[in-house]
Every structure is written in structure tokens, then in C-alpha cells.
Amino acid sequence: METTPTANTLVGGCDDTLAWCKAFCGPQSTSTSSPVATHVNDGYKKDHTFDYDLVVIGGGSGGLATSKEAAAHGAKVAVLDFVKPSQAGTSWGLGGTCVNVGCIPKKLMHNAALIGETLGHDAKAFGFGDLTTSHNWEDMRENVQNHIRGLNFKYRVTLREQEVTYLNKLGKFTSDPNTLEVTDKKGKVSTITAARFLVAVGGRPTNLDCEGGELAISSDDIFSLEKSPGKTLCVGASYISLECAGFLNGLGLDTTVAVRSILLRGFDREIAEKVSERSERALRKT
């Protein structure tokens, strides 16, 4: 963002909203009055002739919540959700990153790792004898993906029940401010119109820009791998890399983390140092 918006006139996308929040919540060193959020007239008219009152681009947590809330207030709403396959060819259903390639599968796989560690290290001390057994990646992966597919279906049903139109299409803005060009999975192109649009597309991992980078996978791929990744190098030391390293190590896989300088840059340093110490101890055990 090239310029900081005036805090009392604009609340727009992510950068604009954060800038407004900083101005609203931060110390007022030059003024005794706090900025006040005001609506900006965008030209909306109730008697418009567009296909929808609101089109939400992105079917993740933010997009789904917004679309359902708008529909509950009487708006005619459509949600566009289309996942371009990752570099390794992975794609998924409605629900966004958290449901498909983030929080949900990650926590399930962490739970699998914790169960394995309990069987291997703690069970005997509590009188269960030796319960050590080998881990089956294929069974875990199938059950995790079945759970996710159930969530995908539930989200589609919920949208239908709340009269929100779900379009599995890729949206592209045109020169007309109220027209969206949409492309389905077969490549068929059409257009839809709306009085307002909300962009809630989230983000994707950046592919490695180096020789052999095309052979690597990302967090978009790890949760649906049909076979165990085996010996794994996690490139980078921010929280997603460390989370993946944690459950892979807990499942008994030979795991290494490549760190350029420090773990969890930008995080609270005391917490980051504790994570670093525990991670080093855990990885040395394998």
C-alpha cells in the first residue's frame, strides 16, 4: 500500500483495515480525539438490476461467514470458490485453507503424533505394558481426508439452507466495476454481476525458486500425500514449517528443519526460544 488511508474515511482491504485499527487503538500523541469510523457512500441502490447484491470471492472462513451473515440480513448472495492445483497437483473442496490444508488436518495429525508418543513413552509407566506399534500413514491420511470431505459437504449444505448460491468458479474482475468474469473447472467462461464484491481469497505457499524446487511439496500437499513422506527436510522455520516438522517427528519420521537465522521471526522471543529448545531436543531423539 503506497499511502496510509485517512482513518475516519476509509476501511477497505486488509492493509487499510489494519492501518485504521492502528490509528484507532494507538496512542493519540497529537490529538485528544479518537478517529471515528464512518460509512463511505459507494453508490449502492436497493433497486439495482444486477444478479446479486453481494458476490464473495473466496470460500474460506471469512468468505463463508460474510456470505451467511449478509444472506441472513436479506441480501442475495453468491460465493465463488475455486482452488487452483498446487505445484504438486493438490486441490481441495469448499472451506478454505483452515479446513482443507491448515488447522483441521494439522491438528488431527498432531493428535496422531501425540497418541504415538504416549504409546511409546508413557503407556508403560501407567501400567499398560509395551504398546509400541508401527504407524500406518495411509490409514491416517484416509481418515483425515474423509473427515475433511464431510466438512466440505456440510458447508455446501449450510450455504444452500441459507439461500447462498455456491459457484465452483474462478472469478476475474473486468473493466466494468459491477461485472465479474467467471470460469468453471471445464474452462467455460461466463459473467455475473453484483452491486458489491468482497475479496476473501486468503493466501498460498510460495514455491521454492531454485534448482530442484519443483520437486518439493508444501503444506498444501502434505496432508493428502498417499504415502508417507519419509525422511523430510522442512525449509524455513516459521510456525507452519515447525508445525509440520513437529507432527512428522512425532510420527517417527526422520525430520530436519533448515533455519536461516532464528526460529519464528516476528514472534515473542521468549516463546520462540522455548519452542527452539524443545524442538532441538525432540529432533535429536530421532
Each residue of 235-265: pLDDT tens digit? 999 999 999 999 999 999 999 999 988 999 9
18, 82: one domain: no
User: What is d(CA 254, CA 116) in angstroms, rounded to the nearest whole number?
Assistant: 15
Q: What is the pLDDT of residue 12?
A: 61
Q: What is the pLDDT of residue 157?
A: 98
What confidence tier does 279 reach under pLDDT thresholds 50, 70, 90? confident
Q: What is the pLDDT of residue 3?
A: 46
104, 176: one domain: yes
Q: Which domain holds residue 279?
A: 229-286
Task: Give the total number of structural domains in the chain.
Answer: 3
User: What is d(CA 20, CA 75) in angstroms, rounded to the nearest whole number?
Assistant: 27
CATH value at residue 117 = 3.50.50.60
34, 52: one domain: no
Q: Which of 62-66, 117-121, 154-158, 162-166 has the lowest mean pLDDT?
A: 117-121
Q: Is residue 220 part of a domain?
A: no
**pLDDT of 11 higher than 60:** no
Grid coordinates standing for 153?
459437504
What confidence tier does 1 reach under pLDDT thresholds 50, 70, 90? very low
Cβ atoms of 192 and 183 within 8 Å: the answer is no
82, 197: one domain: yes
130, 72: one domain: yes
